[in-house]
Structure formats: C-alpha cells, structure tokens
Amino acid sequence: MKMKFIMMQTRKLPELLQIVLNISLFLMAIVLSVLLMKETWSIFSSVILSSEEIDSYFAFTDELLVFFLYFEFIALIVKYFKSNFHFPLRYFIYIGITAIVRLIIVDHDEALSTFWWSMAILVLIASLFLANTRVVRKDH
C-alpha cells in the first residue's frame, strides 16, 4: 500500500515541477517586459528627447543590444509556451550570438580576446546552420 502511494506521488512530481516552471517563466516574462519598456524609454529619450549629441556611441550600441537581448528572451519564453513547453535550440543560439556581439562592442581592448569571441560567433553560426536542418528541426 505504501509503495503504491509513493508511485502515485512520483508520477505527479513532473506535473508539479512543470507548473512551477511555467509560473516562474511567466513571472520572468513580466519582469523582462518591464525592463524592455524601461530600456525602450531610455533609448527613446537619449535619441529623440536629448538635444545634445550622444556622448558615446559604444554606450548607445550597448543599450541597443541589451534591448535586443530582452526582446530575444521574451520571444524565447513566448515560443516555449506556443510549442508545448519546449525551448527551441535556435533561440538560445540567437541569444548567445547577440550576447557575444555586445561583449565585443563593450570590451574590445585586446585583439586576441576579440578574435576568440569572433571564433565563438562563428561556431554558433555553424551550430545555427546545423540546428536549422530538417533532420534536427522539429517545429515545422
């Protein structure tokens, strides 16, 4: 009798964890949406409302890439819910490429590290090519 009860509880555990994951991702999507709106306002105010020249184009580009990172994470969460609770690999690769481009723009002092980050982007693009093949891709 006790073993049967344990087996029943074990079967319910994945469902409970799925509910916790879904609620957590929903809350994260709300937080990311608020941060996306804040970043949008920051970009808008620095470009449109500011009468003086942009101080640093690197800082502006950094803000713009952070905006796209927020956007990509929100798109990833939306895709998760639309594709029956599955994260497509391609979206993680897009986020990785964007994050590395941001890193290169912000911290480009050492040529060798920039080269290695560029090689990492190349590897991610090759991975993206492989992930988009019909054999691997399941969201047609």
Distances (CA, A) of 104 to 26, 82, 98: 31, 33, 10
Share of the chain above pLDDT 90, in %: 38
Instruction: Kindly report, residue by residue over 5-61, the tens digit of the pLDDT.
Output: 666 667 788 888 899 999 999 999 999 999 999 999 988 887 787 766 666 777 778
Ordered by start, the domain boundaries in the chain are 2-131
The residues near 22 (Cβ < 8 Å, ≥ 6 apart) are 81, 85
